[in-house]
Structure 1
Amino acid sequence: MTSCRDAEEKKDEPAEPMQNEMHQSEDQATMETYEGESLEAEFKDENTAEVYNLYVEIKDAFVNTDAETASDKAAELAEKAGENEEIASAATQIAESEDVNTQREDFSKLTAAMEPVLQDALESGEIYKQYCPMAFEGKGDYWYSNSKDIFNPYYGDKMLKCGRVEATLN
């Protein structure tokens, strides 16, 4: 069996040690619906705040393996993205899919499109860039979160706590 720890040992120089291992029976027994953490950060402009908040709602839907909510929130984000074609395109792809695994692949594109938007966008507070080394058959991938706590959108309740904080945006 492969776990978060196995993938970490293969990575050359992790930014931080893995915070969590797989504890499936406990997580599955106690998890009902993840509702996310409230945003403590303040953005320099309102549109970026709205785009980021919708991104987080999509991420939270994936933590809950909820394709329908992810689709609905992604449709909202596609409209709100304005002239940012990368965000609008990735959000539209999520909105148009009903398959959660396909949506998660598009979420990876959305996360990449969010990075330049989030750089230097905060007035105060912090956003956490998190990483799961197991995502996409061991290739690994990132997502953004309001909390240091790991709630993995790429695996949901299958590997809820797999990941680590790679960077802090402030």
Structure 2
Amino acid sequence: MKILVFSLLAIGTLALTSCKENKEQKSTTETSMQHDMSMMSDNSAMGDMPMDEKVTVIDAKKTSANLTELYSHYTHLTFALSGDDDKEAVNTAKGILEALPKINKKGFSAEQKKEYAELESSIKEHAQHIADNAGNIDHQREHLDLMSEDFYDLLKDFGTSKTVYKIFCPMYNDNKGAFWLSDSREIKNPYYGKKMASCGEVQEEIK
């Protein structure tokens, strides 16, 4: 009888010990799973991070120059080419040529006058090529590529009244890529037009 009681007590003790170990193991497993889920959630959030976090922001230098009209013609040029409209591109290029002499340079330093003169000459050359090439939209787009670099330097060094977005197309010019400037984040690719209107991504903000 004593042996039976002892055996029952031993079995009970083993059962309690086993139950306790199972609970501890379950608790440890649940904690580990919760930690893993938390890590997955954090990684997922990082993966969903908006592209805005990767955009470079540039503070433009402010001067007395009012580039609003000139830049407006440039944006109309990109819209014309994004719509495959070579004739409207001619009109907007002529608008650029007319707006260039209107820029007030009285507040410029000697260095700024020199820099502006170089950019003005280059912009004028590219605008003239675009204006002279109705019916040859590929040639117009080649000069938009070069002109966009001039406008980028112009706005960065002489100021902008509103945020301007630099949008990059990686496929243009045999995958060398090219960019254009826009008032909006909306992608309307002037290098491919309607064929690939949404090709591009915002690289920088100029403020």
Query: Same fold judged by TM-score > 0.5?
Result: yes
Q: Between the two structures, name the one with larger relative contact order (CA 8 Å, sep ≥ 6).
A: 1
Please point out which of 74, 86, 106 is paired with 1:67.
86
Q: What's 2:129 paired with?
A: 93
Letter in 1 for 2:179: Y
Q: Is the 8 A contact 2:156 2:206 kept in 1?
A: yes
Offset at residue 166 of structure 1 (A) = 0.5
How far does the alpha carbon of each residue in 1:81-113 deviate from its partner, in whole angstroms, 9 at most, with x for none?
A: 235111111111110112001000011111011
Please point out which of 164, 169, 176 is paired with 1:139.
176
Q: How does 1:7-156 map to 2 (within 5 A)?
A: 16=51, 47-82=66-101, 83=117, 84-98=120-134, 99-120=136-157, 121-123=159-161, 125-156=162-193
- CA distance in structure 2 between the partners assigned to 1:107 and 1:113 by the alignment: 10
Unmatched 5+ residue regions in structure 1?
Answer: 1-15, 18-42
How far does the alpha carbon of each residue in 1:133-161 deviate from its partner, in whole angstroms, 9 at most, with x for none?
A: 01112111000001111110000110000
Q: How large is the RMSD of aligned CA atoms in angstroms?
A: 1.8
State which drifts further: 62-71 or 78-87. Answer: 78-87
How far does the alpha carbon of each residue in 1:51-100 deviate from its partner, in whole angstroms, 9 at most, with x for none?
A: 10000000000010000000111012122223511111111111011200
Name the SS for the 2:67 alignment partner.
Answer: helix
- TM (norm. structure 2) is 0.58
Name the SS for the 1:75 alignment partner.
Answer: helix
Larger fraction in helix: 2
Offset at residue 46 of structure 1 (A) = 6.4
Q: What's 2:195 paired with?
A: 158
Structure with the greater alpha carbon radius of gyration: 2
- CA distance in structure 2 between the partners assigned to 1:79 and 1:47 by the alignment: 15
Letter in 2 for 1:97: N
What percent identity do the matched residue pairs reach? Answer: 30
Name the SS for the 1:168 alignment partner.
Answer: strand
Letter in 2 for 1:122: T
- CA distance in structure 2 between the partners assigned to 1:146 and 1:66 by the alignment: 20
Q: Is the 8 A contact 1:78 1:89 kept in 2?
A: no
Q: Is the 8 A contact 1:94 1:103 kept in 2?
A: yes
Q: Is the 8 A contact 2:163 2:205 kept in 1?
A: yes
Unmatched 5+ residue regions in structure 2?
Answer: 1-50, 53-61, 102-116
Offset at residue 45 of structure 1 (A) = 5.1
Name the SS for the 2:190 alignment partner.
Answer: coil
- CA distance in structure 2 between the partners assigned to 1:45 and 1:151 by the alignment: 31
Is the alpha carbon distance of 1:95 and 1:130 closer, same or farther for their aligned partners in structure 2, counting shifts above 3 Å?
same
